[in-house]
């Protein structure tokens, strides 16, 4: 795993990225493989969390416009190390719906997944 450090150069305004191996363990969980499909009149989201033991909970959020999201479910994390699989489903509605995950980490940081649609 690599950690990244950004620094600005006063001479050319370039922003080089310097990579160095991480000596400490990662501090946040990472959403991986977020999928969204419609099956049997239900929207099914499934995803994998890497560094799962660092996640406290996930909020599944939905939006009709892809900009204004509201929480539709709260998923508590497991303490399983490394990776774990999670699922959520709800009745499919007419019109396009956008979904994303809000991950609340045990270290009190928050991060968002990519936005997906069925």
Say if residues 26 and 1 touch (Cβ distance below 8 Å).
yes
Domains of the chain: 26-112 (2.60.40.10)
Give which of 84, 66, 65 is closest to 75, Cα–Cα: 84
Note if the pTM is more than 0.95.
no
Distance (Å, whole) CA 93 – CA 110 = 28
Query: What confidence category does residue 4 fall into, taking pLDDT thresholds of 50, 70 and 90?
Result: very low
Say if residues 75 and 60 touch (Cβ distance below 8 Å).
yes
Give which of 105, 70, 100 is closest to 88, Cα–Cα: 100
Say if residues 38 and 89 touch (Cβ distance below 8 Å).
no
pLDDT at 25 over 60: no
């Amino acid at each position: 795993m690599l950690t990244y450090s950004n620094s600005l150069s006063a001479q050319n305004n370039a922003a080089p990225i310097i990579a160095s191996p991480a000596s400490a363990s990662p501090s946040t969980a990472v959403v991986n493989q977020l999928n969204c499909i419609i099956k049997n009149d239900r929207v099914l989201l499934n995803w994998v969390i890497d560094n799962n033991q660092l996640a406290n909970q996930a909020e599944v959020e939905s939006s009709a416009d892809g900009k204004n999201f509201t929480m539709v479910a709260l998923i508590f994390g497991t303490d399983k190390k490394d990776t774990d699989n999670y699922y959520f489903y709800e009745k499919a509605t007419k019109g396009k719906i956008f979904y994303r995950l809000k991950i609340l980490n045990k270290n009190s940081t928050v991060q968002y997944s990519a936005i997906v649609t069925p």
